[in-house]
Structure 1
Amino acid sequence: MVEYPHPVDIKVHQKSRFLDIAFDDGSHFSLPCEYLRVYSPSAETRGHSPATAKLERGKEMVSITQIEPVGQYAIKIHFDDGHNSGLYDWRYLYNLGKHHDELWQAYLDKLKAVGYQRKDPELAPPDVDV
Structure 2
Amino acid sequence: MLNPTAIHYDSAESAVNVTWEDGHVSKYFTMYLRGWCACAACQGHFATEYRYIKNDGPALEDAVPIGAYGVNFHWSDGHDSGIFTFRELRAMCPCDECKGHAVARQVSRGSRSTHKD
**Which band: TM-score by shorter chain?**
0.7 to 0.9
> Counterpart in 1 of 2:47?
49
Question: Any gaps of 5 or more consecutive residues in structure 2?
Answer: 105-117
Residue aligned with 1:34, SS: helix
Indicate the structure with greater helix content: 1
* d(CA) in 2 for partners of 1:55, 1:89: 17
* d(CA) in 2 for partners of 1:82, 1:94: 25
Indicate the structure with greater strand content: 2
Match of 2:80 among 66, 79, 84: 84
* 1:1-130 equivalence runs, <5 A: 4-47=1-44, 48-50=46-48, 56-57=53-54, 59-97=55-93, 98-103=98-103
Task: With the length of structure 1 as denominator, give the TM-score of the two structures.
Answer: 0.66
Q: Report the count of equivalent residues.
A: 99
Greater RCO (Cα-Cα under 8 Å, separation 6 or more): 1
Task: With the length of structure 2 as denominator, give the TM-score of the two structures.
Answer: 0.73
Q: Is the 8 A contact 1:14 1:63 kept in 2?
A: no
Residue aligned with 1:72, SS: coil
